[in-house]
Amino acid sequence: MDDSGRWGGVTRPGFVRSAAPWRAAGYLLATGLTGLLLCAGLLVSVAAGGALAALLVGLPLLAALALVGLPVAAWERRLARFLNGERIPDPHRVPDRPGLAAWLRLRYRERATWRELGFTVLAAFLLWPLDLAVAGCALAVPGYLLAALPLLLLDGEQVNVLKLWQVHSPWAAGLFGLAGLALVPVLAYPVALLAAARAGLVRLLLGPGGQERRIGELVLSRARLVDAFEAERRRIERDLHDGAQQRLVALRMTLGLARLDAPPDGPLVARLAEAQREAGDVLAELRELINGIHPQVLTDRGLPEACADAADRSPVPATTRFALPARLPPPVESAGYFAVTEALANVAKHSGASTATVEGRWARGRLTIEVTDDGRGGADPGRGTGLTGLADRVAVVHGTLTVSSPPGGPTAVRVEIPCRPMGEGAQRWV
């Protein structure tokens, strides 16, 4: 963003005639009202937590207040983007391990969490009165002056302008209206400057710091590597499908034709039959390998059908149910599919389950897939079940993986990935 944008666009030609002053006033009103609500909410929460601390009930509430800055910061970053269009990145990292405990442990250790908490306290007790005062004056004072003449005509006798002047003459009221009209562009500049300064404070405190930016660059680098790896996987899958697999099919057909031409009572027929069986076994293994690299059904028909195919091949009977509005981006479909296949493989290897279910849906900008089984439970991602690597794979597409597996079962593996459908369409149930 250029410097004029950082200063609310006040140096740009046509600033007064643009929507920038109105966005600035709306931004300050929104932040002021947010701060007012925060002030009341924090006072009530701290009072309740302190009163209940003697009974130990208030201690979790006080501990949870340390995380109140997370939603506030997300809202502030969204408001700042409304003001000037600049997106402020989220400074938080994705946990290395799935589960709520890992998420809480990371959030309490991050500097960004405490910066956001400090900003929340600042907004709740210091910033909101200034925001509301400036935005209110910028909107109310010119509005009151402009309304002087209409109010006098309605009253018929007098009008109190700003509670300071009593006006009886329509001419004087009209002059106040002209003054209010002239005051609108004058007040636009301080409003825009204050809004830009506040958005700069949000960028400074709620955006990523130096270390967090480096971590973000590492995440982007990992995402690029994964994209390159996926492209290479698809190339290998395509070469095997169109090259080696077709040649094996042709070899098997040639061996079958050779069997027909060989003497029926000679030893050559048995050898050709054995060679044809071996070619068939190699072809089946190659098809399984191709399917593990990147299944063609995923490319051709999408995630629901690919997961249904994986459920059909699962040693444990599994049912699938999906509600998707349309096809999803290929990286999302790939991550979702391999999450399902890894979860089903774990069910077959470790759970002792008799049945499993796979449910997927898209709602509120998020794909959610849940794989559950009726097994013995006790799954631990830290014991090398493949779930940790799966969490890393899901994290590349900004998703999260959580595991619920109490001893005795059931086990539920839940994947959530933010995404948008690639096209419009009716819901499909599979």
- The pairing of strands 159-161 and 400-404 is unpaired
Check whether residue 255 and residue 287 sit in a common domain: yes
Tell me what the pLDDT averaged over the chain comes to. Answer: 77
Domain identity same for 36 and 179: yes
Burial 5-20 (b: 16+ CB within 10 A, else e): bebbbbeeeebeeeeb
Q: Which residue has the tokens 């009008």?
A: 159
412 belongs to a structural domain: yes
Position 367 in a domain = yes
Domain end, chosen from 158, 174, 208, is at: 208
Q: Where a domain ends, among 265, 293, 321?
A: 293
Kindly state the DSSP code that residue 295 receives in the 8-state scheme: -
Name which of 22, 425, 395 is nearest 218 in CA terms.
395
Claim to verify: residue 91 and residue 177 sit in the same structural domain:
yes
Please report, for residues 2, 272, 295, 348, 354, the alpha-carbon distance to residue 318 in angstroms, rounded to integers and kept in the order given.
56, 39, 19, 11, 9
The angle, 0 to 180 degrees and rounded to 10, between the axes of the packed helices 111-122 and 20-53 is 100
Going from the C-alpha of 136 to that of each of 129, 141, 143, 278, 342, the distances in angstroms are 10, 8, 10, 83, 57
Residues 341 and 289 in one domain: no
| Any domain includes 243 | yes
Whether this prediction's pTM lies above 0.85 is answered by no
Q: Look at the chain and count its residues.
A: 430
Q: Are residues 106 and 8 in the same domain?
A: yes
Inter-residue contact 245 to 252 (CB < 8 Å): no
Query: Does any domain span residue 218?
Result: no
- Same domain as 267, residue 169: no
In a domain, 312, yes or no: yes
Residue scoring higher pLDDT (62 or 327):
327
- Does 48 fall in a domain? yes
- Neighbouring-strand partners of residue 368: 361, 416
- Residue 179 per-residue DSSP state: H
Residue 362 identity (one-letter amino acid): W
Residues 282, 340: one domain? no
Residue 420 falls inside a structural domain: yes
Q: Where are the alpha helices (DSSP H) in 262-302?
A: 267-293, 296-301
Evaluate whether 283 touches 245 at the Cβ level (below 8 Å): yes
Alpha helices for 8-122 (secondary structure H): 20-53, 58-65, 69-84, 100-109, 111-122
Identity (one letter) of the amino acid at 256? G
Residue 288 has which token pair?
């399984």
**Between residues 52 and 361, which one has the greater pLDDT?**
361
Q: Do 41 and 151 belong together in one domain?
A: yes
Q: What is the pLDDT of residues 364-410, one digit of tens each?
A: 888 999 999 988 877 766 665 566 667 777 877 878 888 888 888 78
**Same domain, yes or no, for 57 and 133?**
yes
Residues 237 and 191 placed together within one structural domain of the fold: no
What pLDDT, in 10s, does the model give residues 219-248? Answer: 565 566 666 656 666 666 666 666 677 777
- Choose between 367 and 10: higher pLDDT: 367
* Residue 92 domain flag: yes
Across the chain, how many H-helices and E-strands are there?
16, 8
Residue 27 has pLDDT above 80, yes or no: yes
Confidence of residue 290 (pLDDT cuts 50, 70, 90): low
Q: Does 143 share its domain with 10?
A: yes
Whether 294 shows a pLDDT value over 50: the answer reads: yes
**289 and 301 share one domain:** no
Domain extent, residue 194, equals 3-208
In total, how many domains does the chain have?
3
Which of 293, 318, 337 represents a domain boundary (last residue)?
A: 293
Q: Which of 203, 201, 190 is nearest to 25 (CA)?
A: 190
Q: For the chain, how are helix, strand and coil distributed in percent, rounded to 5?
A: 65, 10, 25
Q: Are 166 and 158 in contact (CB under 8 A)?
A: yes
